[in-house]
Each structure stands twice: as C-alpha cells, then as structure tokens.
Structure 1
Amino acid sequence: MQTYDLFAPALTLADRYALFAQMRSEPGLCRVEPFGAYAAARYEDAAAILKDPRRFSSEALAVTAEPAWLGPNPVAHSMLSMDPPRHTPLRALVTRAFGPTGMARLEAQVRQVSEELAEAAVRQGEVELVDAFTFVLPRNIIGAMLGLDPSTFSEFKRWSTNMGMLTSATTEAQYEAVRSVVREMRDYLTEVIQARRRRPGEDMVSDLLQAEVEGQKLTDEQLLSFLFLLLPAGMETTTQVLGNAVLTLAQHPEQLELMKADKAHIPRFIEEVLRCEPPTQLSFRMAMQDVELSGTKVPAGSLVLGLVASANRDERVFEQPECFLPGRDKGTQHLSFGYGVHFCLGAQLARMEARLGLEALVSRIRGLRLCSPEVQWLPGFSIHGPAVLPVELLPA
C-alpha cells in the first residue's frame, strides 16, 4: 500500500491535485503521513466513510483535536465528535437556528452588510479583499447572530486562523499560538454564556440556553463546545468560499460577464467553486471495527480520512473534473459540506452569504485583477483558501 505525505512543504496546489489523481488510481485506500491514517481518495469511498457512523466514527475528531501538545479542547467534545444517538438530540437543539425560518430572517441583514462592504471595497480600487470583504462579511454576521460585542471582533481572525492550524501545527511557536487561542476563547465564550444566563437577549446564545428537545437543555459545557466549533467555522467556511470565488473570477473573467448578465448564474458558480476548491479539504473518522473498504482491510481503532478535495475531482463521478463548468451535471453532489448526519449545519448560511456577497461585488465592478501572480495560501492543509487577497477592482 502506497504512503503519501500530504504536508510536504514543497507541495504546491497543482502538485496536490496531481497527488490526489495518483491516489485515486491506486487500488483500495492509501496511507497518509503525518497521521499514519488510511485515506479514501475516491468519491465512493469518501462518501461511504462520511455517511456510516456505525463503522466510521466521528469520535476521531476528539483524538485529532486534543493532541498531546495541546491538552483539553472544547471542540473535541462538540457534537461534531459524536455519533448517534448522542449526536441526535444536540443536533436537534441547534438546528432550529439554521433552518429556513432563521435564514429568511437573516437574509436582509446579510444583504445590507454585503452591500456596505462591497461599496467600500470598490471605492478603494486596490484593496486587500480578505480583511476588507471576504472575512469581514461572515465575521460580522456570525458575531451578530451570537450577540457578541463588535469591539471584540478584531480578535476573531487570529482565533480562527490558529484553530484552523490544529491538525497541521508542527513547530513550538505554532503549538503555543493554538494553546493561547484555546485559553482566550474559553475565557471569552464562558463569559458570554454567563452573561446571557443573567440577562438573555435576542441572539442565538440566549435561544440555545432556553431551547429544549424532549425536556432536555444544553449544559454550559455543551454550549461552550458548540460555540468553540461554530465561531471559527461560521467565519472560515464563507471566507474561503468567497476568497476562492474571487480567485476563480480572476482566472475565468467570462464568469463575471455571465453573472452580470444573469445573477441566477451566481449559485451555479458557487457550487462549482465548492467542488473545485472546497474550503475544508478532508474529514477525520475512526474505524470502530475491523472493516474492509475497496479491498483494503482497516483495523479497528485506525484513523481514516475522507479526502473531500480528491473525491470532488473523481473522474468516475464528474466529467472533465479539472475543468471549471458551473451548472455541470451532478454539480451539487460534491462533498464540501460533508455527507450524512454530520452534513454542515451552516451550509445554507454559507451559500447565502456567498451568493449575496458576490451579487453585491459583481454589480459594482466591470473587472478585477490580482495584484500578485503568486497566491499566498493559508498555512496547513485542512482549511483551503487565500491568506491574503490583494486585488484591483475596476468599478462598473
């Protein structure tokens, strides 16, 4: 069985996709370093891992989110690391906030924030778009949803970036940065929960403290774990979708014209960005028993990876997978938001933020140009998107 190093420092994005293609051509699963995990590079295998909690448990997150150098981490005890039946009532408690009614209430606010940020960015002309738009939009929305003090928003990017380094930190400086952020977030979010218990408001934290399913409420520790998960995820997913969308627009200027002619093209464009450049590249699971997948025997207790970024380019499912083709057949069948019981709670919110964000930006420009030919990607492998995005926006 071939072993691949996904974190090799010299591995470019093009190298990574070539590596995925090679992995998909191997019989059965592969092994990957530095985890020593079994990796599913083909769509069928990755989907099988993600949808079957009986054989492939999400408790792997608890293992990977609490490495020896870190210690206790609330994310490790969130519902993302639970399987049914423990997962089911917790999911039911928090799903309400992300349902159609909740999203409908948010749409006007997302549209307003998008319009304001897009207007300010286009006025600047040359602008670093992560700090001006792609990060600030979801940050402001998730901050408002949780009822957080805007004066604290300036810390969120550092928190989000360092939490995204959990599975790929390799140096003592990176270890300490993550440890520091976990301490800061724990103190901050514990204080938020305590404040809402004393004085509930019209926000998601207050709603979750009051919510019940079959007479059961969230404990403070359960809510803390959920907020540890939600705050970075609520920013990172949309930030990377928007950032990757802007990079794609620079590479495919004809897509801008299609959007300007018909904004109904924007959702199709977003789905193809999600397929080609998923914001989350992989998902961890743990084999709960000795299993066999595509002829590979996986011992119980082994870490298993669903390689989402590879599965989304599987030639067996998507025709011409290396081509950017919005509206393609099976275009929404990508695994970028997961599959099965752990399908991303915030998928509808991320899609709405990306759609309204692009509508606001596209309507104000006649073109855009990257200020540097080299893209500076986020460190690590798990989260995929530009760390900075200097662009010139040509006003319409």
Structure 2
Amino acid sequence: MSNAHGIPDLLSPTFADDPYSAYSLLRDHDPLLWHEPTSSYVLSRYEDVRRVFQDREGAFSTDNYGWQLEPVHGRTILQLDGREHATRRALVAPAFRGRELQDRFLPVIERNSRALIDAFRDEGRVDLVSQYATRFPINVIVDMLGLDQGHHDRFHDWYSAIIAFLGNLAQDPRVTEDGLRTRDEFAEYMLPIIAERRERPGDDLLSRLCQAEFDGTRMTDEEVKAFCSLLLAAGGETTDKALASLFANLITHPEQLEAVRADRSLIPRAFAESLRLTPPVQMIMRQASRDVELGGGTVPAGATVTCLIGAANRDPDRYADPDRFDISRAELSGATSFSAAAEHLAFALGRHFCVGALLAEAEVRVAVNDLLDAMPNVRLAEGATLVEEGLFTRGLGELPLVFSPVPGPRTVV
C-alpha cells in the first residue's frame, strides 16, 4: 500500500526492501506524515529531526520509552529527564569515556577482537557478520561487566528479543511474548550476580556500577539490572550492524578502503560517514509535551513523533550528494562526530545523546585496524550480494569476504 505520492507504508515489505527511496519521497512530499498504524507523526527532514533531538525548547520528552522499552528493560536512563537524568548519567557515563575507557576497557576491546580473528585468520574467508560482528560487541560488554562469556548465545538471544520488542511497530504478539520472557530470564540471571558484586566487588564494570555514587545517590539493584539490559541490547545490536555496514561501504568503494588501509587515522571519519549513510538505528521516537509547529504542520501535545534518522541523514538540504559514501565529506568533522555536537544523527543529539558513542568508536577503531591487518586483499566473495534487513534497526544479514591469509600470534582471552 502507498499514498498519493507513491510512498509505501512504513510497515510494508516494499518499505523494508528499500527504505531509502521511500525516505526521499517523504522528505519531498510529506515531511510530517501521520501514520495511523503506529499512531505517530513521522519526521524525515534533517532540521526537523535535529530540532526534536536537541529539544532546546523543552517541547519533547522520552516518555514513549515507558511503553516502548520499560516492559522489557525496566526503567532506564532513556526515560529520565532533569536532575534525575543528570544524576543517573553522572553515575554511568565515566566508564565510557576518557581515561577509564582508554586505560581500563581498551585492553578488553583489543583482546576480544583479536581472539575472534584468530578463529578465521588462517582460512582466507569469513562471514564478517556471523563470525565477528555479531559476537564482538557482546563479548566486549560481557567481559567489561565481568560476566561469563560462555553464555554468549544466551546474551545474544536476549538482546535480539529486546531489540525486536523495541521495533515491534506491527504489534506482533509473538515478539511481545518473547520480549517479556526475556525480561524475566534476564532478571533471574542478573539480580543474584548484582547482589554478589555488592558484597564482594571486583575490578569490573558491574562492580563499579554497583558501587558508584553521585551526590549521595546510588543505583538500586533493579536500576543496575536495567542499565545492563540496555547496554547489552543497544551496545550489541548497534555496534554489530554499524561495524558490518562500515566494512561493506569500504569494500564496495575500493579506493576509500585503500586510503583507510594506508592511513588508519581515517577510521573515525569513515565510521562517521558510514553511520550517516547507513545508520544501524533507523528511527527513534519522542513524545510531544505540548503542541509544536513542525515539518509544516502541528504535532499535538501527547503525540508520539517518529524521527527517521535514516531519512534525515540523507537529506540533500544538509548533505551534498547524500546517497554517496565519502569519507572525506566536508559536512562531517572527525572532532565532533562522536559527541553531542555530531553533524550526523545516528547517536541522536542533546542530553539524550548516546552514552556509549565513544565506546562504539573505540570498538570500531580497534576492529577495523585488526581486520585490515589480518585480511590483506580483502574483497567480497564471488557471487555475494549485500542485503540489508530490518526496519527499526537495519543491517546486513551476512557479509562473505575472502582475503589472503596472514598467520599471526594467538590471543588468550
């Protein structure tokens, strides 16, 4: 089904197959679309989406996460505003930036990347999605938290169910059931471990979250569990898809791949451009606190707004030749691409800018360096086609590559 301008419905197979063509039609003809099936106003232009994310007028809240995420995560930092949000962010943010990230967790990232590469570096071929990208960020987070990496498959199943629940715009009852079951299973797994770390803290992120204090406030067991659930889902799903998309964008632009291979300082710029062109999170919702004039119309108080990151990041009014992958793009600055002042919208903006953006940048920087070192002459496997999947989050189902094997020292995890 499509509207008068030929715009396919957001929940249709046509939209899922090629959202980028639909995004162009939305920007041109219906920048503020009322979408009845999701009961939300859909925004597609860069300036409108940026305005909602930055919210300098106090016109939008994250109350939508009360129904969108809280049933599976519990109440998380995403839902909070004002002093409560500032306090919670002050409790968790230090672990994901500065010396804490560099000194404590960068070695964890490097160790996990190289251990995964050891499993295929002698083979000369790899599906980068299933053998590396889907495992790497989860292994890193599990290792950071001091949990058992032997339970990787359980963590992967849990975060997949949570992400599916978050993006269940069609209200599939099976997806809802899987998400609620995951909530119970994750709580049963995590709460005893949290209690144990309270009593006997170690040198891991979970212990630090249990002990962290700001302005006389500590997180409760439920709040720590909810943050760990959010970290696994958001950190796993997004970095997984972002990493595979970045490599696909480089592989299909060989001259830019070789530029990055020759000058590794270009990796953050390449990552930022890939996030702009093929963001792993395609849409984020907000809720209007009052009537707002936006996108050529009015969003009424209490209404949900669906911000199409994938559309805004390709808005020709913001980016020249926006459908082209260009790591030297003038509109992106490597200095701000992983901060709340980023020019792309893949991490949102403002006070709810992704707290794990610098962790994702560190993971991808390590991954691309390690993979380029281990895979000379890397290219797509013969006959391979690249197919993106997903609506709320989007990425490659597989990325089969071949390369010249380079044996190297084995990594002990």
TM-score normalised by structure 1 residue count: 0.92
**Matched ranges for 1:1-396 at <5 A:** 5-13=9-17, 15-26=18-29, 28-32=31-35, 34-52=37-55, 54-65=58-69, 72-75=71-74, 77-105=75-103, 106-166=105-165, 167-168=167-168, 170-331=171-332, 332=337, 333-364=343-374, 365-370=376-381, 373-378=384-389, 380-395=390-405
The residue that corresponds to 2:411 in the other structure is none
1:343 to partner: Cα distance: 0.6
Q: Could you say what secondary structure the match of 2:306 adopts? A: strand
Q: Which runs of 5+ in 1 are unaligned?
A: 67-71
1:33 to partner: Cα distance: 5.1
1:313 to partner: Cα distance: 0.5
Q: May I ask how many residue pairs the two structures share in their alignment?
A: 388
Alpha-carbon contact 2:31-2:42 (below 8 Å) kept: no
Distance 1:29 1:11, change over 3 A: closer
1:60 to partner: Cα distance: 1.0
1:173-192 alpha-carbon deviations (Å, 9 max, x no partner): 33332232222112112122
> How far, CA to CA, are the matches of 1:215 and 1:313 in structure 2?
44
1:249 to partner: Cα distance: 2.6
| Identity %, equivalent residues | 34
> How far, CA to CA, are the matches of 1:17 and 1:376 in structure 2?
13
Alpha-carbon contact 2:277-2:313 (below 8 Å) kept: yes
> 1:262 corresponds to which letter in structure 2?
D
The residue that corresponds to 1:69 in the other structure is none
1:260 to partner: Cα distance: 1.9
Q: Which runs of 5+ in 2 are unaligned?
A: 338-342, 407-413
1:371 to partner: Cα distance: 5.5
Alpha-carbon contact 1:24-1:42 (below 8 Å) kept: yes
1:300 to partner: Cα distance: 0.9
1:92 to partner: Cα distance: 0.8
TM-score normalised by structure 2 residue count: 0.88
Alpha-carbon contact 1:160-1:232 (below 8 Å) kept: yes
> How far, CA to CA, are the matches of 2:384 and 2:130 in structure 1?
19
Alpha-carbon contact 1:51-1:341 (below 8 Å) kept: yes
Q: Could you say what secondary structure the match of 2:367 adopts? A: helix
Alpha-carbon contact 1:59-1:83 (below 8 Å) kept: no
Q: Could you say what secondary structure the match of 2:290 adopts? A: coil
> 1:49 corresponds to which letter in structure 2?
V
> How far, CA to CA, are the matches of 1:375 and 1:260 in structure 2?
22
Alpha-carbon contact 1:23-1:41 (below 8 Å) kept: yes
1:289 to partner: Cα distance: 1.0
1:24-68 alpha-carbon deviations (Å, 9 max, x no partner): 1136511235312111111110011111172110111112236xx
Q: Which moved more, 1:223-232 or 1:110-119?
A: 110-119
Alpha-carbon contact 1:372-1:390 (below 8 Å) kept: no
Alpha-carbon contact 2:31-2:45 (below 8 Å) kept: no
> How far, CA to CA, are the matches of 2:183 and 2:398 in structure 1?
24
